[in-house]
A and B are shown apart, each in its own frame.
Chain A
Amino acid sequence: MENNDNKGYRGAALSILNKFDVSVWNDVEIETTDGVFSGIVLPRSETADDRHIVLKLITGYNIGIEVDTIQGFTSYGSKEAHYKIPEKEFPYDPIKPNVVLLGTGGTIASRLDYRTGAVIPAFSPGELYGAVPELADVCNLKTIKLYGVFSENITPEHWAGTAKAIKREVENGAQGIVIGHGTDTMHYTAAALSFMIRQTPVPIVMVGSQRSSDRPSSDAALNLINATWTAGYSDIAEVLVCMFGPTSDEYALLHRGTRVRKMHSSYRSTFRTIGDTPVARLANGEIHMIKNDLRKRCPKTPLEIDTVFDDRIAIVYYYPNMKPDIIDSLVDNGYKGIVIAGTGLGHVNKPLYPSLKRAIKEGVHIYMTVETLWGYVQMYVYDTGRDIMELGVVPGANMLPEVAYVKLGWVLGHTHDREKVAEMMLTPYAGEITEREAVDGYLIMQGGLPEMEKFLKEVHV
């Protein structure tokens, strides 16, 4: 009998299940050449091989049985369990601020299906309240699931859609906005919202998590608590990222949406402000401002959005011996804007010059940023830089490459006029370019130094 319920099984594994008329969730005893195994047949990951059947033993462990060793099955019925997070009604308290949480996906909005190991979305207010009951001590929370995508799949349409949703919710009375987002591209979205939301009366706080909330050591709860607090109570009316400061469960840092970057593939403290200090530090409902040049909360300010975007743009990360065809292929494929992350102060090799010249001649806007991330583009220091500027490549000051990329798309959504584009690109709209770099803007401390050894030992990192 053909059985269509055998999720994830294929080939030899599916054949043997069908042969013995066994399906996923059956409680079985499998006789094999290696002995007898008892348990419940679990679904199998679709990317796994077709040589094994997965069993959950009564002790809670999972094991795989090799298909070729199987001699027979005895089935004792079926024990399917549907995993569901309990819904508890989120309490309303008239004296607490109303915060809206917009979900776009990512780790913060997901939980593990305990049976299969699959990651499933969890985002209703009831679910969140069930998992993080402390949120009710902070605010009245309304949650809206905008999208459910891993952050690598976020597009400019998601950025515009999110900006529109924020406008709608703020106009409906939200006193703060929290956006749950996958961390991988959170800084792109943070930059996009910084440009697309021209002014806001309330805080707009992006948050994510590096460890999913089914893990006891998850950072999700603390990040959510800190983000909702910032949205509900802080005086900052800008787009911010709120994530762990250190890897310890101690405090969150608030970062400006245009100066923040994910800097470690897995650390909790992965988000860092580049080329400046973070905006503030936050713990247990107390905020300590670090910067004071932020726009203040003002209920009378109308929220204005400007969500145009031209997505014919690319980032080129320069490497030695780069061939001109890289640039040519972008031009040939109709790209209208290129952000180069150049070496040092903003350089590329000579063989690229003709291609850059041709690109600009054909109307492509090219902006230079630095792959060092910290520091300004400065193309006057060496002849190389002067030559490249001569070609029409524009230095992008200290914009981060990703931020310049998002900004270029947004600017090109407004105009393709070369001078207009340059004027907009070099005008700071949301702190993406700073006039000066303070001495505490570049701090990458190195281990092994006595002062750092002392710091590590005495402070919770």
Chain B
Amino acid sequence: MNTTPDPDNFNPRKEGFRCGLEIHQQILTEKKLFCHCPAGIYSEDYDAQVLRHMRPTLSELGEYDGTALMEFKTHKEIIYRINKKLTCTYEMDDNPPFLINQQAVDIAIEIALLLKCSIVGELHVIRKQYLDGSIPAGFQRTAIIGVNGWIPYKDKKISIIQLALEEDACREISDVGHRRIYATDRLAMPLIEVVTGPDMLDPQEAYEVGVQLGRLLRTTGKIRRGIGSVRQDVNVSVNGGTRIEIKGVPQLPLIPDLVFYEAFRQYSLLNLRDKLAERGINKENLQTARFDLSGKLENSALADLPDDENKVSALLIKEMSGLFAHRLGSNRNFADDVRGRIRVIACLEHYPFMLHTDDQSETTISGTDKDILKSVTGMTDNDLVVVVWGPPGDVETALNEVEIRVREAIEIIPNETRQRQPSGETDFERILPGADRMYPDTDSPPLPISRERVDKIRGQMPVLPWVKEAEYKELDLPNHLAWMLAISSRRTIFDRLVSDNKVEPVLAAVVLLEQLKNFSRLGGNLDIISDDCLDELFSAYKKGAFVKEGFRMLIEECALTGNTDWVNLAEKLNIRRVKKEEINKIISESIDTAREELFCKPENLPKVVIGIVMDKLRGSVSGKELIELIQHELNE
């Protein structure tokens, strides 16, 4: 008899964990990909609403795609909210596409080159079907820019299968019952999709490769930042399992937990399959029966539910007792997987829409209701009963789906996409679509990508972040500064200051990264800190207008006043290069003041003297140097 797996003892690497990433990153263009609407503006205000339904279309093999059928079963009414400033008739699928945005193509080529992809000779726009309504046309326009690239990770290469340029989908506003509402502001904004091979062999690697890719993208300075501008789909499988796609992970640090629990879920579903086999349950002999329970229950949670428009139905599954409680995660069991599926497909929303006899808690099926269930369905201790509540048509769909899911558990782990739950685990989202959903976009002509165009972009590419980081470490920058600077937009000015103006690397890095961050935190407007402005700052420093201790005060003052006349500011703040003799004179005068005018006690003397001296010399001499000089003077 095999025991139920426990996540605490689960080692993904040992079970053949494989993970690949699909990074969806919006790119920084002025306009959308196939029309002339502005990109990057979000608003939930709307001027008009359009209602559509999505119909499955036949694949080239004459079959309906699994996702398509599922979405059709849900009978969703899709409402699009349109803000007329952000969405035009193209996004609503009432106008054919305009020619593809060339700025977006250039950015995508640049990123594909950084990923060492082979760039296609001709771009072909393809339609990728989405039946969930997230795109009004029912398909996304997408095109491959490059294939077969790689990035280094530790001592191996992570393969990049392809880079596609595509349009973003709608944002879901709500999805209640049979009605789903979308905002269309984000729709059709250009994004790139980077697909890695399934080369990550444990959850931590998946995270770290994600970080690595994210840094590469940022290096270009041509991607959008901020919430929603990047989303990761993560593909996970284990030995004997299947490729499961976790959709739309918004932040990389969420990845390790999500992929760990998904790997565990697959591992545990394989265990469930073995248990079913041990009980002799197979697809041919699985026995089920359905019963109408409307109005028959007395004191469980279901007894009080309004039943005028709703129905309570039961599905008896023979020999299945205990298996709905089979553990699939830290706090999930097989029943949760089933529940997630019927919630999506049958559109059942109102809890508790599904109860089952494996659930031991008193709040579910309790007391006399258990006896009623037994007498109505004839269940024995070896059997399981699932009870579903909702509108009659949906209950029917739900019971069908429960049965389908149980049959799947006998044989396979179903191909599906899953969505992240707040718990860090995942729940069913939809059936995984097949490659059949791709077909050519007859509305868009092929676009030749000349080698001259590619070479020109190649000539202006930024240096890869890991190459740059290694260079900076050579300059003796501390690790954290080298890491940050390698993808900073201030990289170019840093390189120039260090090589042309001979500024000390650490000083330049601290000013450009940390002090400018402080500038911004104080409310300074970074737009006024142009590269020229920084050039002037460092040349004033090099000409001796102030010493390096003055940078901090100058930048703080600039943040508060907006004044970038550095020489003038330095004079105003009285920060200047001070001669040794003058410093010594100020120190000895201050000691006299402290002793004679302030009647300072000897034990307090150093502190008080430092205070007086610092007031006079702040920003002109380093604090550390002053303290040493004062100590020296006092000791004498």
Least Cβ distance of A182 to chain B in Å? 15
Of residues 178 to 222 in B, which have CB atoms within 8 Å of A's CB atoms? Answer: none
Tell me which residues across on chain B come within 8 A of A447, comparing CB atoms.
84
A65 to B439, CA, bound (A): 18
- Give B69-112 as 1s and 0s: 1 = Cβ < 8 Å from A's Cβ atoms: 00000000001000010000100111110000000000000000
**Does B118 contact A37, Cβ atoms closer than 8 Å?**
yes
Given contacts A116-B440, A216-B57, A247-B50, is CB(A54)–CB(B124) below 8 Å? yes
**B:423-438 near A, CB below 8 Å:** 435-438
User: Would A247 and B60 be within 8 Å (CB), given that A52-B446, A217-B136 are in contact?
Assistant: no
Complex alpha-carbon distance, A168 and B339, angstroms: 57
Question: Do the beta carbons of B47 and A456 come within 8 Å of each other?
Answer: yes
Whether the pair B164, A61 counts as a contact (CB closer than 8 A) is: yes
Chain B hits for A86, CB < 8 A:
58, 62
Q: Is B225 located at the chain interface by the 8 A CB criterion?
A: no
A69 to B119, CA, bound (A): 11
Instruction: Flag whether B49 is at the interface (Cβ < 8 A).
Output: yes
Shortest distance in angstroms between B88's beta carbon and chain A's nearest beta carbon? 12
Is A81 within 8 A of B60, CB to CB?
Answer: yes
* B446 close to A248 (CB less than 8 A): no
Q: Are A64 and B93 also in contact (CB < 8 A) when A69-B451, A115-B60, A215-B138 are? A: no
Interface size on A, residues (CB 8 A): 60
CB neighbours of A217 from chain B (8 A): 52, 54-55, 93, 136-138
Taken residue by residue from 201 to 237, chain A's Cβ proximity to chain B (1 for < 8 Å, 0 otherwise) reads as 0000000000101111110010000000000000000
Count of chain B residues near A, Cβ 8 A: 63
**Which B residue sits closest to A56, measured CB to CB?**
B438
- Residue B144 at the A interface, CB < 8 A? yes
For the complex, is B46 an interface residue (Cβ under 8 Å from A)? yes
Report B40-74 residues with CB < 8 Å from chain A CB. Answer: 46-60, 62, 68
The answer to whether A114 and B60 have CB atoms under 8 Å apart is yes
Q: How far is the CB of A111 from chain B (nearest CB, A)?
A: 8
Residue among B49, B121, B129 with max Cβ neighbours from chain A (10 Å): B121
In the complex, the answer to whether A35 meets B56 with C-beta atoms within 8 Å is no
Q: A266, B57: Cβ atoms under 8 Å?
A: no
* B35 contacts A by Cβ under 8 Å: no
User: With an 8 A cutoff between CB atoms, is B162 at the interface?
Assistant: yes
Whether A267 and B442, one on each chain, are in contact in the complex, defined by CB atoms closer than 8 angstroms, is no
A334 within 8 Å of B (CB atoms) = no
Q: Are A64 and B94 in contact (CB under 8 A)?
A: no
Question: Quick one: closest B residue to A65, CB to CB?
Answer: B121
**Alpha-carbon separation in the docked complex, A209 to B102 (Å):** 31
Contact A64 B121 (CB under 8 A): yes
Interface residues of chain A: helix, strand, loop or mixed (majority)? loop
A-chain residues with CB within 8 Å of residue B143 when the two chains form the complex: 61
- A64 with B122: CB separation less than 8 A: yes
Known: A64-B446, A250-B51. A112 touches B435 (CB 8 A): no
Contact with B along A437-461 (1 / 0, CB 8 A): 0000000000100000100111111
Are A460 and B121 closer than 8 Å at their CB atoms?
no
- Quick check: B144 and A461 within 8 Å, CB to CB? no
Q: Given contacts A112-B442, A460-B51, are A34 and B162 in contact (CB under 8 A)?
A: no
Is residue B148 within 8 Å, beta carbon to beta carbon, of the partner chain? yes
CB-CB under 8 A for A268 and B94, given A32-B118, A216-B54, A456-B47: yes
The closest CB in chain A to the CB of B119 belongs to A34
The answer to whether B48 touches A249, judged by C-beta atoms less than 8 angstroms apart, is no
> Is A461 a contact of B48 with CB atoms below 8 Å?
yes
Contact residues, A93-117 vs B (CB, 8 A): 112-117
Given the interface pairs A456-B47, A461-B50, the reply to whether A63 lies near B144 with Cβ below 8 Å is yes
Q: Which chain B residues border A381 with CB–CB below 8 Å?
A: none
B95 proximity list for chain A (CB < 8 A):
266-267
The reply on B538 being an interface residue by CB < 8 A is: no
Q: Which of A26-69 contact B (CB under 8 A)?
A: 32, 34-37, 45, 48-49, 51-52, 54, 57-66, 69
Query: Per a CB cutoff under 8 Å, which of B52, B435, B442 touches A249?
Result: B52
B437 contacts across to A, CB distance below 8 A = 60
A213 and B46 within 8 A (CB): no
Q: Is A119 part of the contact surface with B, judged by Cβ < 8 Å?
A: yes
Q: Which residues of A contact B621 (CB under 8 A)?
A: none
Q: Which residues of A contact B96 (CB under 8 A)?
A: 266
Which of B56, B143, B442 is most buried by chain A, counting CB atoms within 10 A of its CB? Answer: B442
The answer, yes or no, to whether A131 is at the interface (CB within 8 Å) is yes
Residues of B within 8 A of A211 (CB): 93
Asked if B446 contacts A214 (CB within 8 A), the reply is no
Q: How far is the CB of B108 from chain A (nearest CB, A)?
A: 13
Q: Complex Cα distance A32/B124, Å?
A: 18
A84 within 8 Å of B by Cβ? yes
Question: Is A130 part of the binding interface, using a Cβ–Cβ cutoff of 8 Å?
Answer: yes
Q: Kindly state whether residue A316 has any CB partner on chain B within 8 Å.
A: no
Given contacts A116-B440, A264-B94, 14 further A-B contacts (CB under 8 A): A60-B128, A63-B147, A69-B121, A83-B60, A86-B58, A112-B440, A112-B442, A130-B58, A213-B57, A217-B54, A218-B55, A267-B94, A456-B47, A457-B49
Q: What residues of chain A have their CB less than 8 Å away from a CB belonging to chain B?
A: 32, 34-37, 45, 48-49, 51-52, 54, 57-66, 69, 81, 83-86, 112-117, 119, 130-131, 211, 213-218, 221, 247-250, 264, 266-268, 447, 453, 456-461
B contact residues vs A (CB 8 Å cutoff): 46-60, 62, 68, 79, 84, 89, 92-96, 117-124, 126-131, 136-139, 142-144, 147-148, 161-162, 164, 435-442, 445-446, 448, 451
20 inter-chain pairs at a CB distance below 8 angstroms, sorted by A residue, are A34-B121, A35-B148, A37-B118, A37-B120, A52-B448, A60-B436, A60-B437, A62-B440, A63-B123, A64-B123, A64-B124, A115-B60, A130-B62, A216-B131, A247-B50, A247-B92, A248-B51, A266-B89, A266-B96, A459-B49
Closest 4 CB pairs of A and B: A64-B122, A216-B138, A35-B118, A60-B438
